[in-house]
Structure 1
Amino acid sequence: MAENHIIDLEEQKNDLGKVEISPEVIEVIAGIASSEVDGVATMRGNFATGVAERLGRKNHGKGVKVELKEDGIVVDVSVIIIYGVSIPEVAKKIQSNVKQALQTMTGIDLEAVNVHVVGVQFEAQTEPQEVTEE
């Protein structure tokens, strides 16, 4: 989950006021941008997001973590990919898509977009195989 800080866009200050963007907004934008990439089966969420989705509530920020650091903003994306795709190519497309979407929609420059491939989905299965964290 995102930290409870507001991102203050200093360069967006003008006579009308200032613009603040919640980290949850960045999570949603990054989540949608990641899931649009060909080769991504699903985003990885936790137990709570899985329950919420089964109850009909869509969580577009699932699988995305935003960290506000002194050097800039770091986005971590956890994905499950489709078996047979090139993992390095898909990861690079995710990084590019997330960076471009956030730059276009918010004007925010990212320090890093880290992609974590946590599982592979096979065509014959309905549920993805996740790698267990140790």
Structure 2
Amino acid sequence: MNELGNIKISDDVVKTIAAKAAEDVAGVYKLAGGVADEVSKMLGKKRPTNGVKVEVGEKECSIEVYIIVEYGYPISEIAQNVQKAVLNIITQMTGLKVVEVNVYVQDVKIVSETAEETTDDVEIM
């Protein structure tokens, strides 16, 4: 508590910041959501914090990030980069002490260039 009163940062705020930081790391294909996230997706609800779990106290927090890494990137390096990015931005934006950032690599995505081809080469009869 400061002399003006209390400041409480919502779990969702920390989740959103952490999700954005993790998604911006090169080599992260996307965040990997759990069962609740898949149900939300089926119901048409998009949650930008899929794949992030947080515990926020008054002055500190702990964060878990579940990611899918693009094939060809060094997994341990990507995971460490996610940890650093999340730690830095949460500390900078919220002032909370980040006790831990656990990164769980759920899958590796092989991005196929042929899947991104357009239908320009197909003749229409």
Q: Which amino acid aligns with 1:119?
A: D
1:75-111 deviation per Cα after TM superposition (whole angstroms, max 9, x unaligned): 1111000000011111111011101110111001111
More helix by share: 2
Counterpart Cα distance in 1 of 2:36 and 2:28: 21
**Higher RCO, Cα 8 Å, sep 6+:** 2
Q: Which amino acid aligns with 1:104?
A: Q
Give the count of matched residue pairs: 113
More strand by share: 1
User: Which residue in the other structure is 2:68 paired with?
Assistant: 80
Identity of aligned residues (%): 34
RMSD across aligned positions (CA): 2.4
**1:1-134 pair list within 5 angstroms:** 10=1, 13-15=2-4, 17-53=5-41, 57-68=45-56, 72-124=60-112
Counterpart Cα distance in 2 of 1:68 and 1:30: 12
Normalising by structure 2, what TM-score? 0.78
Normalising by structure 1, what TM-score? 0.73
Structure 2 residue matching 1:31: 3-state secondary structure: helix
